[in-house]
Structure 1
Amino acid sequence: MYVQSENPVEITEAILKMDIRPKDLIVLLVAESDNLNLQALIDRLNEAGVSFIGGIFPGVIHNSTLHKVGVVVKKLQSVSAPVIIQGLNTSDYRWPDFTPTLSGLEKKVTAWIMIDGLMPNIASFLSGLYDRLGDRVNFIGGGAGSLTLEQKPCLLTPNGLLQDAAVIALLDYDTHLGVKHGWKRLAGPIVATRTSHNIIYELNWEEAFTVYKNYVEKDCDCKMSPANFFEISKCYPFGISKSNAEEVVRDPISVNSDGGLVCVGEVPENTVLNIMKGIPENLIAAAAEAVEETLNQSAHNDYVRHTMVVDCVSRALFLEDRHEEELEQISRRIKAVRPEVSPQGMLSLGEISSYGEGYLEFFNKTIVIGSLY
């Protein structure tokens, strides 16, 4: 359901009309430019006894349309209460015990994850989460946050609005996943010889910004500076090589005062990187491939109940007016198989998925599509 309203009372009333049952979880995907009073909405939902989690995103997706205002509301069946983990900007946050929930599972389930997309240690957190949930679970989700790239509270929980946090919901569905990006190699390999969490300080033992801009300027025929960095870098991400799969993309978004490249997501020291380049037709084709990947895996398409789309905001910024072609490709292909299922999701600051339905990975500039059945 998509609700275009800035009134917490109207949104709450729309949710309460959804025939909520004890195991139902309401997932709220909120467009950041909305003037909705989020704390008032949280208070209303708490008063009504609704189980919910949510995130604020640069845009939300309903069918083939991107909305910059409003709320996508999903009613999903959960196998346990959602988990909220705070203090992820420190090293001493506490993990919950997932063992009682996992021991009671009779089939594979899906973990829907929303995180603060501007945390510096996302990959480390996800690695710890995978250690605890493992292959009993398929993973899908994304990073919440603002298009301004200013970190601020971006997760809606019964405890209020949070940052440096994650919310995890174990859903009573299996999932088939499609994960594609479509970016192509321009230059490399290059070694990230000095890094710290999500900042690359040196490439091939030289200042990272100097090395990066030398490669990029040769291709774009323009001068790059810290002031125009994001406008140019959105077309030239890094790719972390993976065997027998597309690179995992890392998105450099700014330059710090030391010439370090600040990325969305961690880059471990001595990682081998390639500089990638985008071609709109390739990205749009990759989105279509992601749909085919999720639908072609299964003989259970008749049982698909929800299709979740996690589309990187920087893909939309790169594609500009052609982004709607990407969403149309997705919607048309899904509805050809399941006409009654509306693809819904968000523009994310980083994408979360089981890599090949196995290891949990954090992506940038990628599209993740999950068919929940």
Structure 2
Amino acid sequence: MERRYVTTGDSTQKALAELAETENVTAVFALVAESAAAHREELATAGSETDLTLFGGIFPQLIVDGVAREEGTLLLGLSQAPEVTYITGLSDAEQDYTDQLPDLLTRGFKTAFVLVDAFASRTDALIRALFDTYGVELNVLGGGAGSLSMEQQPCLLTDEGWREDGALIAATVANGNVGVRHGWQEFAGPFRVTGAEGNVVTLLGDEPAYDVYREVVEPDAGVEIDADNFFEVAKSYPLGLSRFDAEKIVRDPFEPTDDGGLRCFGDVPQGSFVHILRGDPASLIEAAGEAADAARAIELPGGGPRSTLFFDCISRVLYLESEFEQELATVADDGDAPLVGALTIGEIANSGREFLELYNKTAVVGVVDTL
């Protein structure tokens, strides 16, 4: 997989031209740091100026050759042009996403990159539609695009420029395998979710969810939680949705609501049970290594060159701080091409053996035939 990392101050146009002239490169997967405003402007019209299939997203940080980068743009040149579908209206309650999904399985597509606007409100409905349509026969990896400003904005790159409140599905015929782990541990609970509206938990038991959360977390965190410091504290205390005989699905609460609820990245079903989780750097780093091992455990057909892509949650980076370098080193493999990917706002994965899910605070490692 050809790649070009364009730093701030340099132009993406030159790098795109180089990739266009590179033998076998027919498409470009663009991973853009949210700080790279000039690159976003350049890429807005690039799709109409090149014969390359162009798609991608904006993310808080990038992973470039095994190193986290807060600036610049990573352009991945693909030899197999994917079929790219843009899903509209990802916050529209009337939208039926199944109607927008293409027929992929009968045409031999095996692995798909899925990027969503992280601040759209119906990502879970899209995930269900994807699973109902493709089951476990399609390997899926990707995550949420957007900014840590927590404001929705155009963040998905198509041939028509930047778009928001939607999703990109870039399907390839490449063989792949995906590993998913998080490493967070139960700290308090379980609590029954007695009130929830989409991604807002309103009640835990008989109490407002925010009150229960503060009562549990404040003594351990050693600070009083309010709206101003909530995200800073909550990055260390996510919620964990219970699943039968499987690792919990992490939900990242990112702000309290005015009426005492907790707004999360991803839905929390009413009637479910959640724990408040807590981690330590060692358990998170170990889990990322387990995700990489799971992704590499199955030999891909053909046994040829392969690429490793890492979609990891930005809140894991904020939690691990300088120790995040160890997580990257744990995931990297000298036998693969250099590690590339993005630090996302929510992760999407289906290993081809399990239910497709929207995750938070989770490490998703994909190994695919060199594209």
Distance 2:212 2:302 in 1: 47
Q: State which of 340, 344, 351 in structure 1 corresponds to 2:340.
A: 344
Secondary structure of the 1:82 match is strand
Percent identical residues: 34
Q: Secondary structure at the match of 2:112?
A: strand
> Which secondary structure state, in structure 2, belongs to the residue aligned with residue 303 of structure 1?
coil
Partner of 1:305: 306
- 1:286 alignment partner in structure 2: 287
Instruction: Tell me if structure 2 keeps the 8 A contact 1:177–1:357.
Output: no
Distance 2:308 2:348 in 1: 15
**Structure 2: distance between partners of 1:193 and 1:171:** 41
- 2:51 maps to a residue whose letter is G
Residue pair 2:90, 2:121 contacting (<8 A) in 1 also: no
CA distance in 2, matches of 1:7, 1:294: 34
In the alignment, does 2:72 pair up with 1:36?
A: no
Cα offset, 1:80, TM superposition: 5.2
Corresponding residue SS for 1:127 = helix
Aligned counterpart in structure 2 of residue 103 of structure 1, from 90, 106, 110? 106
1:163 CA drift (Å): 1.0
Q: What code does the residue aligned with 2:308 have?
A: T
Aligned to 2:276: 275
Deviates more, 1:291-300 or 1:169-178: 291-300
How do residues 155-174 of structure 1 correspond to structure 2 at under 5 angstroms?
155-174=156-175
CA RMSD of aligned residues (A): 1.9
User: What is the aligned partner in structure 1 of residue 21 from structure 2?
Assistant: 17
Q: How far apart in 1 are the matches of 2:331 and 2:311?
A: 12
Shift of 1:302: 4.0
Query: Where do residues 1-373 of structure 1 align in structure 2 (5 Å cutoff)?
Result: 1=3, 2-5=5-8, 6-21=10-25, 24-78=26-80, 81-93=83-95, 95-99=99-103, 101-105=104-108, 109-298=110-299, 302-331=303-332, 334-335=333-334, 337-338=335-336, 341-354=337-350, 357-373=353-369
Is there any run of 5+ residues in structure 1 with no aligned partner, and where? none
Change (3 A) 1:97 1:236: closer
Cα offset for 1:171?
A: 1.0
Q: CA-to-partner distance for each residue in 1:245-296, whole Å, 9 max, x for gaps?
A: 2111000011111111110111111111010001011111111111111112
What SS class does the counterpart of residue 147 from structure 1 fall into? coil
**Deviation of 1:235 (Å):** 0.3
TM-score of the superposition, structure 1-length normalised? 0.92
How many residues end up aligned between the 2 structures? 363
Q: Is the 8 A contact 2:176 2:300 kept in 1?
A: no
Amino acid of the residue matched to residue 231 of structure 1? E
Q: 1:235 to 1:290 in 2, by over 3 A?
A: same
Runs of 4+ aligned structure 1 residues displaced above 6 Å come to none
The 8 Å contact of residues 295 and 301 in structure 1, kept in 2 or not, is answered as no
CA shift, 1:46, in A, is 1.7
**Please, what TM-score do these two structures have when normalized by structure 2?**
0.93
- The amino acid that maps onto 1:170 is A
Gaps spanning 5+ residues in structure 2: where?
none
Once the two structures are overlaid, the 10-residue window that deviates more, 68-77 or 109-118, is 68-77
